[in-house]
A = this chain, B = another copy of it.
């Protein structure tokens, strides 16, 4: 019997911040859920675009020359190579789509780097 993947069910399974959890695979791309709050690090992904979609709350993505605000029911694609810094003033749940193996901190590293292979 096939079952849909329910975002709320999956979000209840973890509380960690800034630690993407894979919920589905489409060819060689991963769909991930992430809980975020506060500031992330500046980074870019030199090899890939990255899709952000807000499920609950709102977030901002800062760029070197501006920013974008995303609310529930909105998405934004950060082009490959573009430096960005995610930020959420309040707790926010988001969905990411990117190639399998994409590292959350991109080219920046740091102690915010999370495993890229955590399924939930």
- Is B77 a contact partner of A25 (Cβ separation < 8 A)? yes
**Bound complex: CA A8 to CA B71 (Å):** 12
Interface centre among A27, A31, A48, A49 (most CB of B within 10 A): A27
Q: Give this chain's copy count.
A: 2
- By secondary structure, the A interface counts as strand
What residues on B are CB-neighbors of A66 within 8 Å? 1-2
**Bound complex: CA A1 to CA B6 (Å):** 33
Tally of chain A residues near chain B (CB < 8 A): 37
Q: Which of B7, B25, B29, B71 contacts A74 (CB 8 A)?
A: B7
What mask results when residues 42 to 61 of chain A are scored 1 for a CB within 8 Å of chain B, else 0? Answer: 00000011110001000001
